[in-house]
Amino acid sequence: MVLYINACVREDSRTDRLAKALLKKLGEDYIELYLPGENLQALSRERLDKRTELINKGDFSEPMFRYARQFAAADKIVIAAPFWDLSFPAILKLYAENIYVTGIVSEYGPDGMPRGLCRAEKLYYVTTAGGPYIADFSYGYWKSLAEQCFGIKTTELIKAEMLDIVGNDPEKIITDAIAAL
C-alpha cells in the first residue's frame, strides 16, 4: 500500500498537483491522509504522560497510535508539503510528532541508537517553492528521520521551485517538473 501524506493547505495546491502526478506514475493504489482535515493533537503534558505509560506497557492499540501504525505498515510513502518559512507547514511537524512512537516506527538497538521498524522501501518528498528551494529543514529533516530512525533506506526529493518569482511562468515550471518524473 502507498500512503500519500498530504500537507498541502492551499486550495489548488501546486505541490499536491505534482504529488498526484507522481502517484499516477507509480501506478499503485494509494491511501490519502489529508493532514489539514485531521484533528492532529500536539503532545501536551497529559498526552505525553499517557503515551509514555502505554509505550512502557507495550500497548499500541489506542487510537492515538493509529497514524504511527499506518505509517509503519506502508510499502511506499509520498509526502507532499509546500516550502513554508524555509521548512514545511506546521501540520506536518504535528504529524511527525504523532508518528514517532518508539515500539512502532523505531526501537533502540543494543548500542542505544534508534533502529527502524518501518516496512516502506522508499519515501518520496514532494515540494514546491516560491523562490529557491533549500532542503535543510524540510526534505533534509524527513530524509534523516526516514534513514536514521525509521529504517527507510531510500528517499527521493521531487521539487519545483522559483514559482513565485516575478516574470517566471509557474504553469510551465510545474508542467516541466511533471514531465521530468
Site for ligand FMN in 118-157 (CB under 6 A): 128-131
128 burial type by CB count under 10 A (0-12 exposed, 13-18 middle, 19+ buried): buried
Q: Which of 154, 69, 156, 80 is nearest to 117 (CA)?
A: 69
| Binder of ligand FMN out of 65, 83, 95, 142 (CB under 6 A) | 83
Strand partners, 125: 79, 157
Which range, of 43-51, 81-89, 118-126, 143-151, touches ligand FMN by CB under 6 A?
81-89
Q: Does 163 bind ligand FMN (CB under 6 A)?
A: yes
Are 8 and 20 contacting, i.e. CB atoms less than 8 angstroms apart? Answer: no
Q: Does 176 bind ligand FMN (CB under 6 A)?
A: no
Angle (deg, nearest 10), helices 14-26 and 170-179: 20
Site for ligand FMN in 15-54 (CB under 6 A): 15-16
Which range, of 45-53, 79-87, 112-120, 147-155, touches ligand FMN by CB under 6 A?
79-87
Given the rule CB under 6 A, which residues bind ligand FMN?
A: 8, 10, 13-16, 82-86, 128-131, 163-164
